[in-house]
Amino acid sequence: MFLNNQTAMNPPRLPYQRCLIPSIPENVQGIVRDVTAFVVTPLNILLASLSIISNSLVLTAVLRTRSLQHPSLLLLCSLSVTDVLYATYSIVQDIRLFTLEGFCDANPGALALAIVVLCYISTVGNLAIISRDRYLAVSKPWWYRNHVTRSRVVRQASFIWVLSLLLFGSMIARRNFPVIDGPARATTVFLFACFAIIIVVSYVGVFIANRRQRATVNQHGVQTVVMMRYEKKLANTVGLILVVLLFSCLPALMAPLAIVMLGFSTNEIFPFRPFYHVLITLNGLCNPVLNYGRNKDVRRAVGRLIRRPRSINRIQSSTTEGN
């Protein structure tokens, strides 16, 4: 508290001092600042670039391959769009930091906060409808095959994006219309909580359905057993995505709680932001890796997509030599 009062009475003269940790020695503060500026930030840019490339490959492969455009993978494509959006935002913000004196931006502005809200709500919202989709696929496989169509999941994903964009607009507009600030924040928290409850309830249902099916597996035909195994594998993939999301986003979610419950100030929490932002960016890279590694059809489609430019170049070079 004394350090906070002293900082308030004697504001730092250099911009980078706003992002230093006030409770540690000055030489250690300088080391943390250098590690953040020259190690963590470039690493985040690299991970974000790989996230954009890998998610774009999976998106292109699925959208160009008709046989892959079944509901579950289309929903995962909607999640990949969120990862591309956040990775692009992350690269822009990190490059912007390098243009600032002292590599520090303690006040990123309303637009940055609105983009973060857009990415968080769209990510959790997409995972909520994906989790619900996996519950229906595992518990009612035949009903799922007959009733869940591509148009249905596209409408569901569109609804999540409309909600996210409305919150995005309200976060930007609250600067000019302060009256909507409270409702916008309350709506964001409410939606986040609702989506989290849907995810938890859906995967509890998946667990219960799996136990029931193990007990009655001998009563099903071969085709039903194969279908259930496929849907369970996709459910396990989504479960891994959720686990990765939990561990990567937990530090970012704990930061506001630390401010409120443990008495830390925003200035004390802010210097750690680049470290947990790397974990969030890494989550966006892990999602397509899980989809690519656990689904052989997506793997083959991405492989064909990568090999195609090489084959085109070989054809062009052979044509040039023949002429």
CA dist 11 and 56 (Å) reads 45
- Of 5, 41, 34, 17, nearest to 277 by C-alpha is 41
8: exposed, middle or buried (Cβ count in 10 Å: 0-12, 13-18, 19+): exposed
pLDDT of 50 over the 90 cut: yes
Domain contains 241: yes
CA dist 121 and 196 (Å) reads 10
Residue 182: which CATH number? 1.20.1070.10
pLDDT digits (tens, 9 = 90+) for 13-38: 445 555 666 666 777 777 777 788 78
CA dist 187 and 194 (Å) reads 10
The percent helix, strand, coil of the chain (3-state, each to 5) is 85, 0, 15
Domain of residue 171: give its range.
28-299
Listing DSSP states for 24-54 in one string gives: S-HHHHHHHHHHIIIIIHHHHHHHHHHHHHH
pLDDT digits (tens, 9 = 90+) for 247-283: 777 776 666 555 545 555 556 666 777 787 888 888 8
Q: Which of 98-102, 148-152, 189-193 has the lowest mean pLDDT?
A: 98-102
- Percentage of the chain exceeding pLDDT 90: 16
Domain contains 268: yes
- Of 126, 280, 113, nearest to 185 by C-alpha is 113
Task: Say if CB 135 and CB 203 are below 8 A apart.
Answer: yes
Domain contains 318: no
What's residue 197's pLDDT? 92
Domain contains 95: yes
Domain contains 278: yes
Domain contains 58: yes
pLDDT of 165 over the 50 cut: yes
- Percentage of the chain exceeding pLDDT 70: 71
Overall domain count for the chain: 1
Domain contains 14: no
Domain contains 11: no
